[in-house]
Copies of this chain bind each other. A is one copy, B any other.
């Protein structure tokens, strides 16, 4: 019964920010460990990298899955930071698509180990329950779905396809990027161009079939894309 209902004991709040910072520190250590020892690092490796022993890690992450999830979120942040400007930028539609795609590719190109770790390594033995990467893909797809839906509605078109479209696009770019990262048989610019071409044509065809004509070079930006 030590839980006296006094005022908000400052001792409880004092660390609020500190804990966050510590988690971030361990996430960084994990990323460093991954870079050093490949994508199959264990908790001991991570702890060692952070200059600490295992139990300390477990005070901040309930689970290996929890740690991996945090790493995934960090990676998503990096990704979003890079893609945000591309999403918001102006310019022709075709160019903007290409820039967004290229932003994604540039991130995975710069952090191949981290990328593999997040996308492939996933939860080592814990079952499907908490899929690490699914969360992030869903976040991106959801963002995209909103944008696409807004566009479709702006043109008075059926917006029911926005979600499948978004997931289709995410999978498309992700898988093509994955392949590219493994066997780098073409330049990044080249792949970005191919992918953007597919996407642009799909979009253009869809609009055409609804009677809307868009010039690929039109700098049209009828909607605010990001809040």
- Give the B-binding residues of A (Cβ under 8 A): 38-40, 116, 120-122, 124-125, 127-128, 131, 137-138, 141, 160-161, 163-165, 167-176, 178-180, 185-186, 191, 194-195, 197-206, 209
- Can you name 18 extra interface pairs (CB under 8 A) apart from A164-B191, A197-B206? A38-B128, A39-B128, A116-B128, A120-B122, A124-B125, A160-B186, A163-B179, A164-B176, A167-B180, A168-B173, A168-B175, A168-B176, A168-B194, A171-B176, A172-B175, A201-B202, A201-B204, A204-B205
Question: By the criterion CB–CB under 8 Å, are B175 and A137 in contact?
Answer: yes
Given the complex of chains A and B, what is the CA–CA distance between A162 and B187 in angstroms?
15
Question: By the criterion CB–CB under 8 Å, are A178 and B171 in contact?
Answer: yes
Main secondary structure, interface of A, reads helix
Residues of B within 8 Å of A128, CB to CB, are 38-40, 116, 120-121
Question: By the criterion CB–CB under 8 Å, are A176 and B185 in contact?
Answer: no
22 contacts between A and B (CB under 8 A): A40-B125, A120-B128, A121-B127, A122-B122, A164-B180, A167-B176, A167-B178, A167-B180, A168-B172, A168-B173, A168-B194, A168-B195, A170-B175, A171-B171, A171-B172, A171-B174, A171-B175, A171-B178, A197-B205, A198-B206, A200-B205, A201-B209
Residues of B within 8 Å of A160, CB to CB, are 186
Given the complex of chains A and B, what is the CA–CA distance between A38 and B128 in angstroms?
9
Given the complex of chains A and B, what is the CA–CA distance between A178 and B197 in angstroms?
24
Residues of B within 8 Å of A169, CB to CB, are 172
Question: By the criterion CB–CB under 8 Å, are B124 and A124 in contact?
Answer: yes
Q: How far is the CB of A78 from chain B (nearest CB, A)?
A: 20
Q: How far is the CB of A141 from chain B (nearest CB, A)?
A: 7
* Residue ID in chain B nearest A175 by CB atoms: B171
Given the complex of chains A and B, what is the CA–CA distance between A208 and B170 in angstroms?
25
Residues of B within 8 Å of A206, CB to CB, are 197-198, 201
Question: By the criterion CB–CB under 8 Å, are A125 and B127 in contact?
Answer: no
